[in-house]
Amino acid sequence: MAINGVHLIVFANEKGGSGKSTTAVHTAIGLAQAGRRVAALDLDGRQKTLARYLENRRETAKRRGVELASPEFAVVNDGRTETFEEKLEMLTRDVEFLVIDTPGRDDDLARAAAGRADTLVTPLNDSFIDLDLIGQVDPETYKVKRPSFYAEVVWDARKARAKTDGGTVDWVVLRNRLQHLEARNMRRVGDALGELSKRVGFRVIPGLGERVIYRELFPKGITLLDLQQLGELGISHIAARQELREMISGLALPEAAANAA
């Protein structure tokens, strides 16, 4: 384990708009809902999306007079790796999992977190634009030509982790927003990801769909697992809730897959 026997789940992607913070915060809350001891750390001191979501959740619980399972959390505001290490030590004292949301850019904090990861999660929109982050494809055949720069970043992180404590990094690529793609393009992206996964070494699992509900719930800080706070659910909400459960299960966390559902 990376620190204090805690499993570190790091969400990282240098491209914006991939659903990174959304999947990070829902994973943290999903684990808390399942009774796991979890904390969260937001390394994006500017946007603070994960931290703001959890702050909203606390305010909703206080305003409504209800209990909402929620992880303890902190933010690294100054961008310093020394502060990151201090927050790591503080948050990993009595938990099983620490969920870390990194900035949507290449910086020292993102690399430091990747080097500490037990599970490294890279959400991608299901398109060749996002795929280009980890692998370049031939414009005619759509076959993978070579890994891209981010695959090299992960390779460096894996080497750093192995050197630090002999541990391994389970790299997971999330395919987000699948249902809005034309079928042929979806197959091409899927084929390229499958080929690249064998060359670079990552697992591919389904992520979250492009659903308005995820954005609508942000001001309240609640999720589709908070059934008593949601009222009547439509079919799309039920489908989205199942997506969330399957995503957390697909991460294959220690003793967490069955409990998260």
Instruction: Express each pLDDT in 108-166 by its tens digit.
Output: 999 999 999 999 999 998 888 889 999 999 988 889 999 998 999 999 989 888 888 88
pLDDT (tens digit, 9 = 90+) per residue, 206-257?
888 766 778 888 999 999 888 778 877 777 778 888 888 999 999 999 974 3
* Model pLDDT, residue 213: 78
Mean pLDDT of 182-210: 86
Tell me, what's the pLDDT at 179?
A: 56
Domains of the chain: 7-251 (3.40.50.300)
The reported pLDDT for the residue numbered 2 is: 56
Over residues 70-87, the pLDDT tens digits come to 999 999 999 999 999 999
Measure Cα distances from 100 to 25, 45, 51, 64, 91 in Å.
Answer: 9, 13, 11, 28, 11
pLDDT tens track for 26-42: 999 999 999 999 999 99
State how far the alpha carbon of 161 is from the alpha carbons of 88, 158, 184, in Å. 16, 5, 38
Helix axes 49-64 and 20-33, enclosed angle (nearest 10): 40
Specify the DSSP element, H or E, that contains 157. Answer: helix 149-165
Residue 261 has pLDDT above 60, yes or no: no
Residues 6+ positions from 154 with CB-CB distance below 8 Å: 114, 120, 122, 169, 171, 200, 202
**Confidence at residue 256, expressed as pLDDT on a 0 to 100 scale:** 42
d(CA 56, CA 219): 6
% of the chain at pLDDT higher than 90: 60
Q: What integer pLDDT is reported at residue 160 of this predicted model?
A: 85
Element counts in the chain: helices (H) and strands (E): 11, 9
C-alpha span between 175 and 30 (Å, rounded): 19
Residue 212 vs residue 68, higher pLDDT: 68
Which residues have CB under 8 Å from 123's CB, separation 6+?
11, 13, 18, 19, 20, 23, 173, 174, 176, 207
Q: What is the pTM of this model?
A: 0.91
